[in-house]
Amino acid sequence: MKLDNRYKIMYAAFLMVIVGYFAYSLQVGKLFYEFSTKSQWDGSNSRTSGVNRFYHK
Amino acid sequence: MNDNDTFVACPKCFSYQEVTENGMKFLSSFKNSNRPKEVCFELGQSIRVNGTSYTITGITQRNDSKYKSFKWREYNLKNDLGEDAFLNEYNGNWLLVKPLTQVYIRGDQSFSYQDVEFSIFQAYNQEVNWAVGNFNFDITDIDKLYSREFIAPPKMLIYEVQKSSKETNPEWYEGEYVDNNEIYQEYLSLGNTTTFPSKIGVGATEPYKSQFYYKDALKMSLITLAVILTIQLYFMATSPTTTVFRETFSVADLKIDSTSTNLTSAKPIVSKSFSIDKTGKIEIELNSGVDNSWLESNITMVNESTLEELPIVIGNEFYHGYEGGEKWTEGSTNASKDYSEVPAGKYHLLIETITPATNGGTYEVKLQTGGIYWINIFIMLCLIAILPIVKYFQEYNFEKERWADSDFSPYNYDEE
């Protein structure tokens, strides 16, 4: 099979991009669809029980 | 008119006559008003099909004697060498047909011819309902022609026999699909004023044309699948799950909240330090012995170098009972959460646990690094499967549409 037209080339490029991103996801331990992991650090998904946030600071 | 032509359908008076030794013998007539609107060429015009120039010597419209609404047009052609050919048009799909002289074919449903497998597409008796031009047989003899068509797109083999001969002396023809644009260019070059038939549906021998076929998409996706599996196996081998923190705490050690006599205080426990060697996912687990109760830990994972904090809320609640003659349970005594892309470094935990003061027992906090998200490979499998599936159904639907008018279709049309 040859990459003899632009549709095949585009599909090959798409496959290469997702394979690269897949390998990167495994390397850094992230979910494939989780493009940014910043939100888990800002506390927005935590502190739901009214605990004094500044107690230990 | 050729020497072999013994029947004439006059293009001016539309009478149909036989040429006999005693002159012309009137047989019947075709009405000009019955001229099919799909007839887009005129008798005597010269057209070029598949690289050969032909003169049109006859035009007929035929129909299946059983399904009379199935009508097609046939242009009788003759090239400069005097060789016969036929240009058939049905629903704007064109087929150039030539007689075969020597064919030895066995098989009513399918057979191999020149290493190509042909399958039966249609079997019918045909009638002529309109004609102009010269013919070498009586086209109005409805008992004359029984046809079977076998296809291997873009080719078709046509078996024709006189019914009265009981199939002992068949004639074979070979047809090949002609792109309707090629015929349309001929139509334009002749400047004909008649209507050019619009292409409808998929022709019986129309090849599926695409820049990108199903088999190409499948091959590329399978190669990618092999790469993905290799990558997955590599990371499974090099990212084992490691427990970097595990400690059990006693609920009895928690102080009673001064503002609420029912709950323990949220004062944090500072854990010992631990290291995460490699940036990656972590999983934190909370296990406790709660019984018809709950326990919640607010854990802050503190990076000792950058002082970045990862807040984690995790809880257990487990209830059970006996109601209406049946036992029931709800919740669990353990829970886990995972976090992505946690940087390597030295960390400690601040654990603030709240639970009803009446609870006793212990609770355990466990933190593991490494491991992989299996959902990633499932997403990848879905992504690489999309195009092959789309292309497969495109080609499947094309073939299904091709066979829609066939009595021998291998496809099921009941649901439509």
B263 exposed, middle or buried (CB, 10 Å; 0-12, 13-18, 19+)? middle
- Distance CA(B213)–CA(B398), nearest Å, equals 12
Q: Measured between alpha carbons, how far is residue B364 from residues B203, B247, B319 in Å? A: 71, 6, 19
* B positions 221-250 inside 8 Å of A (CB): 221, 224, 227-228, 231-232, 235, 239
Alpha-carbon distance B261 to nearest alpha carbon in chain A (angstroms):
16
Reading chain B (416 residues) residue by residue, the pLDDT tens digits are 566 678 888 888 888 888 888 888 888 888 777 789 999 999 999 999 999 999 999 999 988 888 888 899 999 999 999 899 999 999 999 999 999 887 666 667 888 888 999 999 999 888 888 999 988 878 877 666 788 899 999 999 998 887 665 556 778 899 999 999 999 999 999 998 899 999 999 999 999 998 899 999 999 999 999 999 999 999 999 999 999 999 999 887 776 666 665 676 667 889 999 999 999 999 999 999 999 999 999 999 999 999 989 999 999 999 999 988 899 999 999 999 989 889 999 999 999 998 887 777 899 999 999 998 999 999 999 999 999 999 999 999 999 999 998 999 999 887 65
Give the number of other CB atoms < 10 A from CB of residue B102: 5
Give the closest residue to B148 by CA, choosing from B408, B366, B415. B408
Backbone φ and ψ for B324, nearest 5 degrees, come out as 60, 30
DSSP assignment letter at B142 = T
- With contacts defined as CB-CB under 8 Å, which chain B residues touch A46? 298, 311-313
Q: Is the dihedral of CA B171, B177, B182, B187 positive or negative?
A: positive
Interchain CB contact of B335 with A (< 8 Å) = no
Q: How many helices (H) and strands (E) does chain B have?
A: 3, 23
- With contacts defined as CB-CB under 8 Å, which chain A residues touch B352? 51, 55
Alpha-carbon distance A11 to nearest alpha carbon in chain B (angstroms):
8
Task: Tell me whether residues A45 and B279 touch, CB distance under 8 A.
Answer: no
- Distance CA(B200)–CA(B72), nearest Å, equals 13
**Interface TM-score (ipTM) > 0.85:** no
Helix (H) or strand (E) run with residue B408 in it:
none
- Distance CA(B14)–CA(B22), nearest Å, equals 21
- Distance CA(A3)–CA(B380), nearest Å, equals 22
- With contacts defined as CB-CB under 8 Å, which chain A residues touch B219? 1
Interchain CB contact of A21 with B (< 8 Å) = no
Give the closest residue to A32 by CA, choosing from B281, B289, B348. B281
